[in-house]
């Protein structure tokens, strides 16, 4: 068959057995202490036997205080060397080389998994709903991060991995240094394109010098940010020209960030030529082939047919084809393609199906992208549990998983002991902090984004209370169940909630119904059956368990609240 099955010699001396790469996908399968566990071993054993020429792991973080998502593996020292070795061997036993992807989230640190304030080149927040403003790194901290990348690479080599990939794409820390939108420093680490590229180049040099010459070192780089004023294709080409002289073994081309997710095919309308060639970034790769010199190029994103993959390799535009999401539902995709068992990969498209103004909302596009990522992560978790993928899994099931994982599971990943006392004071306080973060950083901004574009619901609305300390009106998004005389609300955190305490101090409230603010009184009902009340919020009886599960994922000490209207109802023509 075509060049897809041809081995690829790398500059370091290693040889990839074929040209199909399982590209990085964040697994979220670490232990509570951020070490690999048996789920990762089972997952990578499946991929290792899947016929790929190369496997790249998901995000491995270099600082346990700064995580991209719950369940990240972290390497700061060799404390988990034995577990890391088992992880590498799981893939290699199937005959496939495995590289570890090294990363730092920067300003994209997940507020549900990171207790410290995020850090970044500059104190500028990402355009993602709910992410806080980061703190600008000092010069000493930047140098420490370079050292951390090198330390992680050295430990990966000691654990038996065949190489590492430095993640410099998708809006994470290294790509933040490259972007003029995220990096507005005026010192040696920013100010112009050359200085913005310095952090990446220093990381590459530190990593290369910390490992043996036969250990592979690669970079994943954005072709562009696809954001106005961001990292451009011209700047990317200049970076590749510099990387070509840094003893690299592979440059993987991707693009976008979670603010503008081009890597998922959601950033912009593609040309007819791009659609025919399938890959999102193949045209760009064609323009840097000469600049990369002897460094092999990989292109990931959009490849679905064997014909398009073969053409990309045979034409010389790229040397390796990366497959990400398709490998979650077809872990032996490489074997199937190389043996001719299939001609086209057809992974399902997971989307909220947004249309019109909703589709143009950047906040809701981010939610749409998160749902897609989480659906595929659910497939990884099935494989890690020893199960087969479930391509028919409902996106609504994934939506509930997102709530539960970012609530309970995010909490568990920091507790230190699974199965501890869930009724303990420490558990309840810590869980409250996590769930409050969900409301503050995800739910509240989401409701606000919907409201700004005129999308309102009788299920999701706003409650106005009087601040017991300030005496000023305070508005919060709430889920309600309206009836003829008022409404029921569940105060998810009870007397830990600010608005719950406001109601206890002053029951006079206002509640928005169909765009109109209505005067009312609110009464806390601690004796009400909260579980039964949550099920009653479902728009259809069949959805009652789903609704109750959603509430359960976002509450600590819930109390039912009865709201009774005190004004006249709106007239029929109002």
Higher pLDDT, residue 440 or 86:
86
Is the separation of the CB atoms in 220 and 168 below 8 Å? yes
- pLDDT, position 227: 62
Using left for φ > 0, alpha for ψ between -120 and 50, and beta otherwise, residue 101 falls in beta
- In this prediction, residues 203-212 reach a mean pLDDT of 98
Instruction: Write down the mean pLDDT value for the chain.
Output: 83
Using left for φ > 0, alpha for ψ between -120 and 50, and beta otherwise, residue 133 falls in beta
Higher pLDDT, residue 468 or 184:
184
pLDDT grade, residue 543 (50/70/90)? very low
Angle at Cα 135 formed by Cα 130 and Cα 139, nearest 5°? 150
Please give the C-alpha separations between residue 534 and each of 463, 537, 559, 560, in angstroms, as whole numbers: 18, 5, 11, 9
The span from the CA of 387 to the CA of 380, in Å, is: 10
Would the pLDDT of 551 be above 60? no
- pLDDT, position 277: 47
- pLDDT, position 365: 63
DSSP assignment of 148-163, as one string? HHHHHHHHHHHTT-SE
Q: 36-75, pLDDT tens digit by residue?
A: 999 999 999 999 999 999 999 999 999 999 999 889 999 9
pLDDT grade, residue 279 (50/70/90)? low
User: What are the start-end ranges of the H helices in 159-216?
Assistant: 173-178, 193-196, 198-210
Higher pLDDT, residue 23 or 457:
23
Domains 8-347 and 460-565 are alike in CATH topology: no
- pLDDT, position 398: 80
Most confident of 213-227, 273-287, 342-356, 436-450: 213-227
pLDDT grade, residue 440 (50/70/90)? low
- Candidates 553, 551, 557, 534; CA nearest to 412 is 553
Higher pLDDT, residue 159 or 489:
159
- Candidates 465, 495, 569, 483; CA nearest to 533 is 483
Q: What percent of the chain has pLDDT over 90?
A: 57
CATH class of 8-347: alpha beta
- pLDDT, position 559: 86
- pLDDT, position 360: 62
Both tokens assigned to 548: 């109750």
- Candidates 166, 190, 183; CA nearest to 225 is 183
Higher pLDDT, residue 449 or 5:
5
The span from the CA of 144 to the CA of 135, in Å, is: 16
The span from the CA of 373 to the CA of 364, in Å, is: 14
Helix axis angle for 395-404 and 544-552, nearest 10°, is 20
Per this entry, what is the length of the chain?
574
Would the pLDDT of 102 be above 60? yes
Domain ranges of the chain: 8-347, 348-411, 422-454, 460-565
- pLDDT, position 267: 44
The span from the CA of 283 to the CA of 287, in Å, is: 7
The span from the CA of 189 to the CA of 184, in Å, is: 9
pLDDT grade, residue 184 (50/70/90)? very high
* pTM for the predicted model, two decimal places: 0.72
| E strand residue ranges, 483-546 | 486-491, 508-513, 516-525
Q: What percent of the chain has pLDDT over 70?
A: 75
pLDDT grade, residue 572 (50/70/90)? low
Name the burial class of residue 65, with classes exposed (0-12), middle (13-18) and buried (19+) by CB atoms within 10 angstroms of its CB: middle
- pLDDT, position 515: 78
Angle at Cα 226 formed by Cα 225 and Cα 231, nearest 5°? 40
Would the pLDDT of 424 be above 80? no
- Residue 469 φ/ψ, nearest 5 degrees: -100, -45
Q: 515-542, pLDDT tens digit by residue?
A: 789 999 999 998 888 777 776 665 545 4
Most confident of 128-137, 383-392, 464-473: 383-392
Q: Which residue shows structure tokens 């997940």?
A: 110
Would the pLDDT of 429 be above 90? no
Both tokens assigned to 50: 């899947």
- In this prediction, residues 388-399 reach a mean pLDDT of 85
Name the burial class of residue 79, with classes exposed (0-12), middle (13-18) and buried (19+) by CB atoms within 10 angstroms of its CB: middle
According to DSSP, the β-strands at 20-22 and 320-323 are: parallel
- pLDDT, position 187: 97
* SS3 of 205-264: HHHHHHCCCCCEEEEEEECCCCCCCCCCHHHHHHHHHHHCCCCCCEEEEECCECCCCHHH
Name the burial class of residue 409, with classes exposed (0-12), middle (13-18) and buried (19+) by CB atoms within 10 angstroms of its CB: middle
- CB-based burial, 481-503: b 16+ in 10 Å, e otherwise: bbeeebbbbbbbbbebbebbbbb
Residue 517 is given by DSSP the state E
- In this prediction, residues 294-321 reach a mean pLDDT of 94
The span from the CA of 34 to the CA of 247, in Å, is: 31
Q: 221-259, pLDDT tens digit by residue?
A: 998 776 666 788 999 999 999 999 999 999 999 875 555
CATH number corresponding to 460-565: 2.30.110.10
Would the pLDDT of 302 be above 50? yes
Q: 331-369, pLDDT tens digit by residue?
A: 999 999 999 889 999 878 777 666 666 566 665 666 666
The span from the CA of 523 to the CA of 520, in Å, is: 10
Most confident of 292-306, 457-471, 496-510: 292-306
- pLDDT, position 568: 85
Sign of the CA dihedral with 327 first, then 330, 334, and 338 last: negative
User: What are the start-end ranges of the H helices in 261-353?
Assistant: 272-277, 282-288, 306-314, 326-329, 333-338
The 3-state DSSP class for residue 425 equals helix
Both tokens assigned to 405: 């994982």
Q: Would you tell me how many other CB atoms lie within 10 Å of the CB of residue 109? A: 29
- pLDDT, position 367: 66
């Amino acid at each position: 068959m075509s060049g897809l099955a041809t081995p690829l010699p790398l500059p370091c001396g290693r040889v990839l057995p074929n040209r199909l790469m399982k590209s990085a996908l964040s697994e979220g399968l670490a232990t509570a202490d951020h070490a690999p566990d048996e789920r990762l071993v089972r997952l990578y054993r499946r991929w290792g036997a899947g016929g790929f020429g190369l496997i790249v792991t998901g995000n491995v973080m270099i600082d346990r205080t700064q995580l991209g998502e719950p369940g990240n593996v972290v390497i700061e020292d060799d404390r988990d060397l034995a577990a890391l070795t088992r992880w590498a061997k799981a893939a290699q036993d199937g005959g496939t080389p495995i590289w570890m992807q090294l990363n730092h989230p920067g300003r994209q640190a997940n507020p549900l998994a990171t207790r410290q304030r995020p850090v970044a080149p500059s104190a500028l927040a990402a355009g993602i709903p709910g992410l806080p403003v980061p703190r600008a790194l000092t010069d000493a901290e930047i140098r420490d991060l370079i050292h951390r990348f090198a330390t992680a690479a050295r430990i990966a080599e000691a654990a038996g991995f065949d190489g590492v990939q430095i993640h410099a794409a998708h809006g994470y820390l290294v790509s933040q240094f490259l972007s003029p939108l995220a990096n507005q420093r005026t010192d040696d680490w920013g100010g112009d394109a050359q200085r913005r590229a310095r952090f990446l180049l220093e990381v590459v040099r530190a990593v290369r010098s910390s490992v043996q010459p036969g250990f592979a070192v690669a970079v994943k780089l954005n072709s562009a940010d696809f954001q106005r004023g961001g990292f451009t294709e011209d700047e990317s080409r200049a970076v590749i020209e510099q990387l070509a002289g840094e003893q690299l073994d592979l440059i993987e081309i991707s693009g976008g960030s979670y603010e503008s997710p081009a890597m998922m095919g959601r950033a912009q309308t593609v040309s007819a030529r791009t659609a025919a060639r399938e890959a999102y970034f193949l045209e760009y790769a064609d323009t840097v082939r000469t600049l990369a010199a002897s460094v092999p190029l990989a292109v990931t994103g959009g490849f679905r047919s064997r014909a398009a993959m073969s053409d990309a390799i045979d034409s010389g535009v790229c040397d390796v084809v990366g497959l990400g999401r398709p490998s979650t539902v077809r872990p032996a995709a490489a074997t199937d393609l190389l043996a001719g068992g299939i001609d086209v990969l057809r992974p399902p498209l997971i989307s909220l199906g947004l249309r019109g103004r909703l589709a143009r909302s950047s906040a809701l596009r981010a939610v749409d992208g998160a749902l897609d990522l989480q659906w595929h992560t659910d497939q990884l978790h099935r494989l890690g549990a020893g199960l087969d993928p479930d391509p028919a899994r409902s996106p609504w099931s994934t939506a509930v998983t997102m709530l539960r994982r970012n609530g309970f599971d995010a909490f568990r990943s920091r507790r230190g002991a699974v199965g501890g006392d869930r009724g303990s004071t420490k558990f309840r306080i810590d869980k409250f902090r996590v769930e409050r973060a969900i409301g503050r950083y995800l739910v509240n901004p989401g409701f606000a984004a919907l409201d700004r574009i005129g999308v309102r619901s009788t299920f999701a609305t706003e409650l106005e209370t009087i601040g017991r300390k300030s005496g000023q009106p305070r508005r919060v998004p709430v889920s309600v169940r309206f009836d003829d005389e008022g409404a029921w609300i569940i105060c998810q955190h009870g007397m830990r909630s600010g608005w719950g305490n406001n109601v206890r101090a002053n029951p006079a409230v206002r509640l928005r119904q169909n765009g109109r603010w209505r005067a009312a009184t609110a009464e806390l009902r601690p004796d009400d059956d909260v579980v039964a009340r949550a099920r009653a919020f479902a728009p259809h009886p069949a959805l009652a368990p789903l609704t109750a599960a959603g509430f359960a994922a976002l509450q600590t000490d819930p109390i039912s609240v009865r709201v009774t209207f005190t004004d006249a109802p709106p007239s029929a023509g109002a």
